[in-house]
Each structure stands twice: as C-alpha cells, then as structure tokens.
Amino acid sequence: MWYFVAPKVVFGQDALSHLAELKGRSAFIVTDKNIVSLGFVDKVREQLSQAGIQTAVFDEIESDPSLQTVQKGVAVMNQYGPDLVVAVGGGSVMDAAKAMRVQYERPDIKPEEINPFISDLGLGAKCKLVCVTTTSGTGAEATFAIILTDTADQRKLSLINREVVPDIAIVDPELARVMPPQITADTGMDALTHAVEGYTCAWKNDFADGLCIKAIQIVFKYLSRAVKNGNDMEARERMHNAGCIGGIGFINALSSMAHAAGHSLGALFHVPHGRAVGMFLPYTIEYIGEAREELWAEIAYAIKLEVPEGKRAATVLAQAIRGLAREINQPLSIEQMGISLDSFNKAMEKLVDNVMSDGSLIVSARIPSVAESEKFFNYTYEGKSIDF
C-alpha cells in the first residue's frame, strides 16, 4: 500500500487572485523582510481583504530557518489565533510555515519530533495552510517535507509527514519575475535534482514518474532562458510549474543521495540548498551508475540526449547536467563554491557523519560505505568524475 499526496494547486497568471476566494476569519502571513519589501505581502493582504479576511504578518524567517525562529513565530501565532496560515516566499519561508502550523495545531508535538510514523496529526481542524511560492524549484509549496536547521548541532533536520502537505499551493509566475538570476539558477537546479532523484530512487513509483520526467524536460528547455532573461515570462511560467510538478513528483517517491550530500554540505558551509544538491547531482548519477542504467537512459531519451554506442547513459546524463550548470554559472565542484581545501578537510568527519545519517540516503539505489562517502566528497571537491 502506498499513498499519493498533493495540495490543490492553483497555477498560471493571476493565480494569486484565488486568495480573494478563500473563506476564513483571519490569516497569519509568514514571510521574510525581502518579500515584504518587494510588495508581495501587500498584494496578498489586498486579495485576502477582498475575502473579508483580517491579516497579521510575521516577517522574521531567515534562510535555512532554525527551530528557534519557528518557535518564536508560533508564540506570535498563538496570540493571534488565525484560521488560515499563508506562507509567502521561497522554500525557507514555506518550510517554517509548515512547522509553525503543526505546532499551532498540535502544541504537544515539537517541530523536531515530526516524523512519518505519526499516523494522525489531525491537521486542518484549527487552520488551513496556503503556500504562495515566490521561487521556482524548491517545490515546498506542494511537499510534506520540512527542512529546519538545528543551529546548536550544526545539522539539518529533514522532517516528513504526509499530513504536513499544504492545503493549497499558489503558483503564480508573476511572483517569480523579480527573482535574481542566481536564485533562479539555484532553485532551478533544485527542481532538476528533485525530479531526477524522484525518478530513480528506490521508492520510485508509477504515480510520481510522469511528473518527474515532465519536470526534467521543462528544466532542460527553460531554465537557462529564465536565468538569462527574467522577463521571459514563458520561461518563468514553465519553470514555476516545473518546480511544483517536480516537488509533487519527488515527495511521493523521495529524494536521495544528492540531497543527502547537499544537506550535509549546506549545514556546514551555508551553501544555498539548490546550488549544493545540483552540484552533487551528476556525481551521484555517476556513483549510482549501473544500478539505474536503464532509468538514466530513459531520462536521456526524454531530453533528446544521444547515448553513443559503448557509452553509459549515466555518463552522458551527468555531462549534460554539468553542461546546463555551466551555462547558468553554477559551480561544478566544492572548490568552485569558494570553500578552501583546509576548511573542507577539517569538516570531512562531520560531512561524512551527516551524509550517512541523512534520511534521503536510505532510498539511494546504491548506498556508500563511510570510506566511499569520504572518497565521494574528495572527488566532488576536485571536480573529478566518480569512477568507483
């Protein structure tokens, strides 16, 4: 028995106006200061006021949100007592909002205790969650995963429970228009990594496969256009869709080794999530290699890559991903991220520790030993293709 879970998705131009059709008394808007200064929160409040819904704003979400920030937000939310939570922002904002909503509805469960085995969170009785995404790729508007940072322990927490999925995802490309090229590139690589990992991990399934393949095709066709010209609204809209489609695809299968490695590096060196997982993706494809050769070939076929006689599809696909990354100025190695060899070596033990204990690694089609993990990180530092 398995489940396929997704929010109601409202997408395309003017999707934001769906907020004016919501029913409710008061909405707690979770966001960050940058989103406020872009005027998006005003737009959201305008729509909600048309529906007769009062609003309060909590704009203190930082990137890589911490447990402490979530707790602070919940304290404010408890005083306000909303029946709607509206997250407006990227992955960090939406993940923090998901965690805050759980604690608001279930004060007996701490955010760090959320796990797949809690069978009845009973969410929705006290409030509904609406996620308005301003970036194209995290898929957080449609997933039931929450990534928080435990600052005390320098560790990222991947918290998963099906009930955490937002009730409504709003995917309006107009909100992605002002995204700077770097964030477009980072989050776009996140979308690609979700889709490739969802399609090839151990828990892949028929329901998720089509979504993952579609997201991969869109990213390969439109990501570099969206990075190079933010006003290319066709590319913006398709990438905004791809982020959400890839999110629904991967969360109903799971992400795997590139995410495990990316979480590990990100927690220690504060590399943006999408940039980290996207950099690791081709290396993990090479590492997993034969265990998924048929699936790499299927992906290659879907994006019209030619696999020459005698060459492995894993190699061809990994190189194509590096080609795309190069086109949009993404780093191809840990060294290119500006991390010194000295600090990398000092962090190695923790890097390996983190990756081996990351939940995403369990579903990788090939799981490294501790020694292989260390070797893997050394290769990715130098930018050397995996050959073991």
- Site of interaction with Fe ion (CB under 5 A): 190
| 26-30 and 54-58 beta bridge pairing | parallel
Nearer to Fe ion by C-beta: 141 or 190? 190
Nearer to Fe ion by C-beta: 16 or 324? 324
C-alpha distances out from residue 324 to 185, 199, 223, 279, 327, Å: 10, 19, 9, 11, 5
Nearer to Fe ion by C-beta: 82 or 198? 198
Compute the least distance from the CB of residue 193 to Fe ion, in Å.
6
Nearer to Fe ion by C-beta: 22 or 258? 258
List the structure tokens of 251: 């969360």
Number of other CB atoms surrounding residue 249 within 10 Å: 31
Compute the least distance from the CB of residue 194 to Fe ion, in Å.
5
Compute the least distance from the CB of residue 277 to Fe ion, in Å.
5
Q: Measuring CA to CA, which residue among 134, 332, 321, 142 is closest to residue 224?
A: 321
Compute the least distance from the CB of residue 140 to Fe ion, in Å.
9
Compute the least distance from the CB of residue 362 to Fe ion, in Å.
16
Q: At what angle do helices 273-288 and 370-382 cross, to 10 degrees?
A: 120
CA distance 327 to 2: 39
The amino acid present at 351, given as its one-letter code, is L
Compute the least distance from the CB of residue 38 to Fe ion, in Å.
23
The amino acid present at 212, given as its one-letter code, is C
Nearer to Fe ion by C-beta: 190 or 358? 190
User: Under DSSP, is residue 50 helix (H, G, I), strand (E, B) or coil?
Assistant: helix
Give the CB-nearest residue to Fe ion. 190
Nearer to Fe ion by C-beta: 186 or 190? 190
The amino acid present at 90, given as its one-letter code, is G
